Each structure stands twice: as structure tokens, then as C-alpha cells.
Structure 1
Amino acid sequence: MREVWGEWKTGWTTLRSAIGQQWNNVAGDATRSRLEQTYGRIGLAWKRPTWPEATLTYARNSLSSALDPLGITPQKNQNHTLEGALAYNSLRWNVRLASSYLLGSDLLHGGAETTARLQVFTAAFRPLNTVTIAPTLGYREEANSWSGLRITSPSASVTLQYRNNQQLLISAMGNYAGTRSSDGLIDTEQAGGKGILTWDLQPSQAWTTLVSFEAGYNRMANHVTPSADTEDISGVIRLVLAVL
């Protein structure tokens, strides 16, 4: 991996940029493709004391495969992404709203284009020193110019943490995600949750002993093929002994 980055700041305005390259399969394994990626991004941030921070970022990413073994489909893609965001941070709460537009091209198939729009809202609220609530809402809409297919993907999640002291931590998480296509061939929903209780049995400056109890539930509903529905319930007990 190689990367060069820079930052320039004046007053309330900050300009950041970076370019880089990375790849895998550095040993040249003949049974695997080598994926080579080059990227560049430039971002402008404006922040005034007590005001929300506004950012605008452009990124370009190129991905291509090399050393493709027989039977492996080569890849050559190019993506452009533009994101605008507003964020505000305070002692009791943080919020961020971001909107992105992505244009992708498959250079091995006549430059077939895919566009995607993504909106994400994240927040963290601390009504008490011992409690943190962090919700996330997202919505993605993707369209393929070569097929006319449109795919929408709403999502939501929330995390709750309660820490009474250095010994006890209780956390609970819930999530939902759906995916639907305009041709009706994709229509799935997934919902789940997890609860964790962690207890430090014997606090010490030399070592720590943690025990945690975890319980989780996940359900995936396939409205096109109901026989593919899945549901699982899990429970885990963990014991951690570590030297500090």
C-alpha cells in the first residue's frame, strides 16, 4: 500500500486530500487474482465555533484485476462519489446527516453505469452520564442504466449502553434492513437484536477478569421465496482473563 496525503487550514476552513494505491496477492499466487486499486479524494470542511460542521468530499476509485487464473472473471471498474454532510457535536449529543451520490462504470462491459444515492443519519444522545443511546437511519437507492433495474434498501438500528460503574456494562442493540427490487425478484427483510451484560469480577491494576452473557435473535424473511426464511436464537457466555 502507498498513500500520500496533505492538509491545509485557514480560519474556519480545512482542505484535505489523499491519493494512494493498494493491492493484494503480493506473492503472485497463480490460483488467485490480484486486485489493484487506486484512489484519490479531496474534501473541504467548514467549522465555526458553536456551529455545525459542513463537509463536501469527492472521491475517485479504480479497481482492476490482474493475473486472473482460468475460470475467474476479470474486473475493471471505476467509481466516482460525491458526499455532503452536516454534523454537530456537544457534550450531551452528537448528530450527523450525510448524503452521497455514486456513479460506477463497468469498463469491461461498455462502461455500463450504476448510480446510487445514499442518505445516512447517525446520532448519539447521553441523557445521563451512565446512559448512551445511538440510533442510525439509512436509505440507499441503486439504479442500473443497462437493465433499468432499481433496488431500494432502507435500514435502521439503535444501540443502548448503560455503565453504572467500572465493573458493570449493559448494552442492547437492535437492527432492521430491507432490500427490494423493481422487478419483484428481490424482497427481503432482516431484523435482529442482541443484549450483552459484562461484569468485571475482580478489578485490579495488574490483571482483569471479565465475564459476559450474550443473547441474540435474528430473523430473515424472503417474501419472494418463503421457504428460504431463516431464524436463529443464540446465547454465549464469555470469560476473559487478561494481564494489564
Structure 2
Amino acid sequence: RGAGQTSNQQALRQGAVELVNKLLMGRTKKAKEELPDPDENWKSKDPKALAYEIATFMGGTWPERPVRKVQLSLEGVPTDDEELFALTKLNPTLLSEMTIKTRFLFLEVFLEDIQDVYSEVMETLEPGTNLVTYDSLRKFKHLTVSLSFDAVSDVCQAAFDAVSFDEFPEVAPDERPGLVVPLDLAQFTKHAAAATALVKMMVDTEGELPPAAEPRIIRVEKKFYYDDI
């Protein structure tokens, strides 16, 4: 057991060293001197605690999450994994390629992110309308499509398709200040809540994929080009 603990500590330390080395690439000498020393004797052994220790090293600050002004309710959302997969149209292939531990850590962060950004979108809603800002909705779509939540991403895309971007220069498409888009609020909230519920289901099981994920995972057989010759 002692040897196993030592091995885990060495792996954790090596991970921290690799992280810092990546940060050092391309930096000036002065910038490198301001970054944490890879050989620093970190006290934390838990990955989350270690991340916090590195981030706050020598006066650094840990990013704080914004206060959610609009809460996303999960009331009435299906609790069956098959129903949630069908509703969200989640493609679990990317998640299946992660280790359980990595998937758990990733989903824990994603669970908070999706609720934060949902609130950001709804905070921009113009009173008495269904108009929200392009920038906030684009941020939400990028977040959800990154994990292949296709249903809510499609709702976002429908809002973008409903307006013309002709007046906005393509040199800076990431930000379009002042542009608002018409959003189907009911469908947006419905699918955002379903995606959140499915993520929470996986977080509650510490990264385990529900049974409904298995038949939806896309598996590609690795073959060498000369196998068919």
C-alpha cells in the first residue's frame, strides 16, 4: 500500500510539473520567473486541492463564479436516463473516451458552467420580448456543443438563423455588441434543464456513464490502410 501511495504522489507531482512546463513554453525569462517552480514541494495531494494551490501560489487568485441571478429549475425534468438521452440528443462518444476520474472532474465543472451561462443568457432578456444578446447565447451554444448536447445547441442555432448578420463585420464574428436574437425561451429552458439533469446524474455517480449511453457511443474500428489490400 505504501508503494502505491508513493507512486500516486509521484504521478500527481509529475502532472503538476508538466502543467507548469507547458505554461513556461514561449515565455520570456521574466515571465518564467513569475510562474510556479515545477520543483516546488506542493503540499496538496488531491487533484482539486493541488490545482487551487498552484493557482494561488505566490499571491495568485482563484477565479470566483458569478452570482446566478436566474436559476435553472430541474422541476418536471425526466429522471430516466433513456428519456434524458433522447431529449438532449447527447452524443456520449467524447465522454466515453475519458477515464472515469477525468470524466467526473470534467462534468463537475461543466455542471456549474451550464447553469452559470444559462443565467447569463436569461439576464440579457429584454422585458416583454424573447430577445437575448447574441454574445451570451453564442457562449452558451459553444459550451453545450463542446460536449455534443445537440438538442439545446439546435435551439440556439435556430435563434441565430432568424437574424441577418450583414451589418456586422466578419473580421470580429466572436462579438457582436448590441445584436439581439429571438430565442424560443420555452424550448431553450426545457433542453438546458434536461442537459443539466443528465450531467448531474453522471456527477452523482462520480463519472459513471448511465446504461443508455452505451448504444449511443460511436466506435470506430482502427484499421491500417493495407488491411484491405
Fold conserved between structures, TM > 0.5 = no
The structure where helix makes up a greater share of residues is 2
Larger strand proportion, structure 1 or 2?
Answer: 1
Higher relative contact order (CA 8 A, sep 6+): 2
TM-score relative to the length of structure 1: 0.23
Tell me the TM-score normalised to structure 2 length: 0.24
Higher Rg of the two aligned structures: 1
